[in-house]
Every structure is written in structure tokens, then in C-alpha cells.
Amino acid sequence: MAKLIHFLLFLFIQTISAQTPAAPAGPTNITQVLEKAGQFTTFIKLLKASQIADRINSQLNNSNQGLTVFAPTDNAFSSLKAGTLNSINSQDQMQLIQFHILPTLYTISQFQTASNPLHTQAGNSDDGEYPLNVTTSGNQVNVTTGVVDTTVSNTIYSDTQLSVYQVDKVLLPMKLFGATAPAAAPAEAPAPSKPEKNVRAGAADASSGSSGSSVDASNAVSLNRKTVKGFIMTVAIIVSCLWM
Ligand SMILES: *[C@@H]1O[C@H](CO)[C@@H](O)[C@H](O)[C@H]1NC(C)=O
Ligand SMILES: *[C@@H]1O[C@H](CO)[C@@H](O)[C@H](O)[C@H]1NC(C)=O
Ligand SMILES: *[C@@H]1O[C@H](CO)[C@@H](O)[C@H](O)[C@H]1NC(C)=O
Ligand SMILES: *[C@@H]1O[C@H](CO)[C@@H](O)[C@H](O)[C@H]1NC(C)=O
């Protein structure tokens, strides 16, 4: 009889453990997600230099608010017209990066019911400002900024708080690159210096522009994980007691 109980508990633990996703060591880290995916070195540099990576990570750790990130590949950056990033000042470069981040979690299927224009961390989504529209057909998600049209080419990462999607073009916002925007015609910058330097210079201004992230320590996801973990521990202790 005792043997049978052992066996049943053993099975039970196996089942529970199998259903619990391996808890990552610590909160989600956007840099690590992108590093793991490869081909995002430029975007990572920009996120780090602007300290937006830190802000994303602390938002992921401290709030229940979801985030969606459109991550342009290295190819996307290198196929920009030379001098494009340097044609805008450091504050606008910050805005350009923020434009790739939505302060809301969108799964692919949630894009299907999203109402345009979507709100990005760059702020105002009125026409001529920072609007970002999506159109979907099945699982295909097209993104348009009014300047650039592209398609989500891959889901890099997705959990209950964060979605990261690969895009093969840098999302250029209307405000900075629209037909009437002064920055529309990037000068043939003869010596394109590293864009991240400019961003770093502007990083001090950045924190003021962040959308109010509610600091809410109670994170449902980690709480659930803890609960499940605690439960497994309890069962394990019971089993080892019975075993002896
Ligand atoms: C995120 O990961 C990067 C390296 O991948 C590391 O340098 C950074 O400290 C990490 N940030 C946090 C908040 O853990
Ligand atoms: C995550 O948040 C908790 C509680 O607010 C804090 O103690 C911890 O240091 C944070 N972890 C990281 C990696 O920022
Ligand atoms: C998405 O873009 C592709 C390529 O431009 C196009 O063929 C397709 O019809 C678009 N789909 C939707 C839903 O807009
Ligand atoms: C985005 O969608 C809104 C609402 O449908 C529309 O008014 C606007 O013209 C669209 N902008 C672009 C760039 O597609």
C-alpha cells in the first residue's frame, strides 16, 4: 500500500513538474532575449546606450504591465540610407527607439483585434506624429508607420508579459521621417559616426519621457510560480517522509 502511494505521488510530482515551465533565473531580461536570438546587435547597442534596456527590464520586474517590442535586425539597420540615424538629434533617436516598443502586450492573435493606430512608447499616435498601424491576415501581421511598411517575420520571444517580434526594417515614424518632416532627407553624412554615441548623450533626457509605469510589486506570474514551487516542495517532503 505504501509503495502504491509512493508511486502515485511520484507520478503526480512528475506531472506537475512537467507542466511547470522551467522558471528562468530571475526576471526576463530583454538584452538576453535578443542576444540569444542573434542578429540584433545594433538594436541591443541602442537599447543599452539609451538605457532603455534597463527601463524595460525594470518594467518587466516591477509591474504587471505588458510590453511588446519590435526588434529590427542588424540587416534592417544596415539597409537604412547612410546617415539616417545621424540626421536626427539624440532626443529624436530616443524617440525612434521608443517607437519600437508598445506599452501593452500583444500576442499575434491580439494584433488581429487591435485598433489602429497603436500607442507606442514614443507617445502621441496622431497622424503625422508617432502612429503605428497593424493589419493582419491570419497569422501574418503587417506593420505600417506611414513611412515604412513591413511584416512581422518571426516571434523571438513570448510570455505573459513580453512579446518580442523580429522586423526586417527599422520602423521610421512619420514625425521624424514623414514627407514633411525636416529630417526626411538625410544629408549624405560623409562620416557616419556610431549612432549609439549620440544616443548616450541624450540618455539623460530620456527618463522624463517614459510613460508612467505603475510600480506594482505583486506579479501574478512569479506568484504563481512560487505557489507551484511551494506545492511541489510540500509534496516532495511528504513523499520523503513516507519513504522513511
Ligand atoms: C541583462 O543581461 C545582460 C547581459 O546579457 C546583463 O549585462 C545585464 O546586467 C542584465 N540585466 C539585468 C537587470 O539582469
Ligand atoms: C526585481 O524586483 C525585486 C522587488 O522589487 C527586487 O528586489 C529585485 O532586486 C529586482 N531584480 C532585478 C534583477 O532588478
Ligand atoms: C502584408 O504585406 C504583404 C506584402 O506587402 C502583402 O502582400 C499582404 O497582402 C499584406 N497583408 C495584409 C493583411 O495587409
Ligand atoms: C492608421 O490607421 C488609422 C485608423 O484606421 C488611419 O486613420 C490612419 O490613416 C492609418 N495610418 C497609416 C499610416 O496607415
How far away, in angstroms, is 224 Cα from ligand 1 center?
24
List CB contacts of 191: < 8 A, sequence separation 6 or more: none
Count CB-CB contacts under 10 A for residue 156.
19
- ∠ CA 60-65-66 to the nearest 5 degrees? 75
Mean pLDDT of 93-105: 96
H/E run at residue 136: strand 133-137
54-83: buried (b, 16+ CB within 10 Å) or exposed (e) per residue? ebbbebbeebebbbbbbbbbeebbeebeeb
Mean pLDDT of 64-85: 94
- Taking the C-alpha atoms of residue 101 and residue 65, their distance in angstroms, rounded to an integer, is 13
Atom of ligand 1 nearest to the CA of 32: 5
How far away, in angstroms, is 25 Cα from ligand 1 center?
12
Q: Give tens-digit pLDDT for 35-49.
A: 999 999 999 999 999
pLDDT band at 10 (very low <50, low <70, confident <90, very high): low
> Do 61 and 27 touch, CB atoms closer than 8 A?
yes
Mean pLDDT of 119-143: 94
Average pLDDT value over all residues in the chain: 77
Going along the chain from its start, the domains and CATH numbers come out as 28-219 (2.30.180.10)
Per cent of the chain over pLDDT 90 is: 57
List CB contacts of 54: < 8 A, sequence separation 6 or more: none
Q: Give tens-digit pLDDT for 168-190.
A: 999 999 999 987 655 444 444 44
What predicted TM-score, i.e. pTM, was given to this entire model? 0.71
pLDDT band at 229 (very low <50, low <70, confident <90, very high): low
- Determine if ligand 2 sits within 6 Å of the CB of residue 27: yes
Q: Does pLDDT of 163 surpass 90?
A: yes
